[in-house]
């Protein structure tokens, strides 16, 4: 089966390949840009992005939408995360959080899959905290350098590795991709898609 993931983000494409390739699914990327809308939820936005591609792209295909929800900022940037990343970026979020004690936050992702007849949406969530400075690291993208996942948030399918202490207090940008793929918001959403497609 060949499945198109409509994204220009290589990090997202890598996560999807890691999750779906074991099922024998050939994941290919597409730079086709769906119309971006503003919505009240990631699911609404993800579904809208998917629906405008029906008739323009051969199914099956999938899209996603994700956001960082900072609790002390009333869940900002949330559904505006892509715009916030382009405008104020990581430094802007850290500036807004200067002197703020409550640094709790969570990432959410919604993957929407179109099988040629029906659209299916899958939600993933990962709680954690924000750092006070961006961490260096060769992994991750977006707001990953300032997000430390909460210990014990394993997603749908926990990693088999027992060396979990190796990444305690490390950000998504520092955690190895194979670990992040299991515990991240997108990793969880993809795991639900895998289950839908008859996988593990």
Please write the tens of the pLDDT for every residue from 37-67.
Answer: 778 899 999 999 999 999 999 999 999 999 9
- Residue 120 CB-density burial (10 A; 0-12 exposed, 13-18 middle, 19+ buried): middle
Nearest of 152, 30, 172 to residue 90 by alpha carbon = 172
pTM of model > 0.85? yes
Nearest of 127, 200, 137 to residue 167 by alpha carbon = 137
Three-state secondary-structure class, residue 9? coil
35: left (phi over 0), alpha (psi -120 to 50) or beta: beta
Please write the tens of the pLDDT for every residue from 136-194.
Answer: 766 668 999 999 998 755 443 444 443 445 667 889 999 888 888 888 999 999 999 99
**Looking at the DSSP assignment, which residues form a beta bridge with residue 27?**
3
**Looking at the DSSP assignment, which residues form a beta bridge with residue 65?**
110
Active-site annotation, residues: 65
Q: How many residues does the chain have?
A: 200
Distance CA(26)–CA(29), nearest Å, equals 10
CATH of 2-196, one of 3.90.950.10, 3.30.70.600, 3.30.450.40, 3.40.50.150: 3.90.950.10
């Amino acid at each position: 089966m060949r499945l198109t993931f409509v994204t220009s983000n290589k990090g997202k494409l890598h996560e999807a390949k890691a999750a779906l390739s074991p099922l024998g699914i050939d994941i290919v990327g597409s730079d086709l840009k769906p119309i971006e809308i503003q919505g009240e939820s990631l699911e609404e936005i993800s579904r809208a992005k998917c629906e405008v591609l029906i008739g323009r792209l051969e199914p099956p295909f999938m899209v996603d939408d994700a956001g960082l929800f900072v609790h002390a900022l009333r869940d900002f940037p949330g559904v505006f995360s892509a715009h916030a990343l382009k405008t104020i970026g990581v430094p802007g979020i850290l500036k807004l959080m200067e002197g703020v004690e409550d640094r709790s936050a969570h990432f959410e992702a919604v993957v929407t899959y179109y099988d040629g007849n029906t659209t299916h949406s899958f939600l993933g969530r990962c709680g954690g905290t924000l750092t006070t400075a961006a961490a260096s690291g060769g992994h991750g993208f977006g707001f990953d350098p300032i997000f430390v996942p909460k210990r014990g948030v394993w997603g749908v399918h926990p990693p088999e590795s027992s060396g979990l202490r190796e990444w305690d207090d490390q950000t998504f940008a520092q955690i190895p991709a194979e670990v992040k793929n299991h515990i991240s918001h997108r990793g969880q959403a993809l795991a639900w898609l895998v289950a839908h497609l008859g996988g593990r």
